Structure 1
Amino acid sequence: MIATVREVGMQWSSVVGYGVGCGAALSVVFTAAVFAGAALSRDFLLNDYPPAIQERYGRPKSARGRRVAVWFGVVVWGVAGLPLLTAAMVGLDGALDGGLTFLPAALCAALVFATLALWDLVVLDWIIFAGLRPRLLVLPGTEGMAEYRNLRFHLTAAIKGSPLIAVVGLVTGGIAALLA
């Protein structure tokens, strides 16, 4: 049976809805984890600061910062990311005629990660980190540095990380296709 244009459109709107919706939920968890991590150890994201800020800070990430960074990864990816991605795939499987296949799974997963990446760049990096600069995210001894407002640094980092969007999509799509 041939699907109508409306049926195909509804199928893809489900893919986009689940991808962006779960990506938004992951973005909220990610934001909360950034602030919780900074409250526990302000240097836990030291390697993500512009080089001039790292240089002026003048010390390596503390042992506590390394532990917090590990727990940040566990919470964001293990406790939130994987379950949200799984929920997106399960929900999408029920929403699509014929079940979940590689392409919708890959696109949905890529949208989850792309939503998080865009949120991280625009909201966390540009608005909060560069614009508002809450004391909690400013490393001691680096207050007032112009590099905190370097929007290009954050954009470049986001572009460098963007291939992960495709990797997450392809791996998730492959796993979904294998399990279907």
Structure 2
Amino acid sequence: MNKLGISLAGAALSGVVALSSATPALAGPAGADRTAPKASTVSANPQATAAVSRAQKLKRLNQLTEKYGMPLWENTRVKWQDGHDKYRFDWSTDGCSGVTDNPGGFHFWESCARHDFGYRNYKKMHEFSRAHKKRVDDSFHYDMQSVCKRQWGPYSQAQRKGCLKVAKKYYDAVRALGHL
């Protein structure tokens, strides 16, 4: 996002988080990785870096940004961290772009990182269309909703409802402020 977009998104979401009646979530698992990856994107294995066609890379990007693609994205990210990424994707992320990755204790970092992944890679391939933006944004919303359902399970309807409300506000912000 550009600086104006980040500032607007930050301001909009800061108010949402501050006004949210949701109670803080339980801490994530001990030792959970909350930082952006630092590994090289070039594999030491020469066969793993064999040329990939543009069509193959776009197909893989589509798979990694599908609504139900978070497990595949997570597995592929781990492989990248280990130095294996024959597609040479851009894995950089700033988390939730100027707003908290953990609003009200809800753990949205991975959702935001996958959203960044989709935007950055479609843009680098000059394939960032309205349809791809909507697809990535919708996957982002689905990912956050999944966090809310997993994190709270059947234990607290109020906490889950608060989490889903914050997820919707984050989604609305990227729909309105995300750039083509």
TM-score range, shorter chain: 0.3 to 0.5
Q: Which protein has the bigger helix share?
A: 1
What's the TM-score, normalizing by structure 1?
0.33
What's the TM-score, normalizing by structure 2?
0.33
Larger radius of gyration: 1
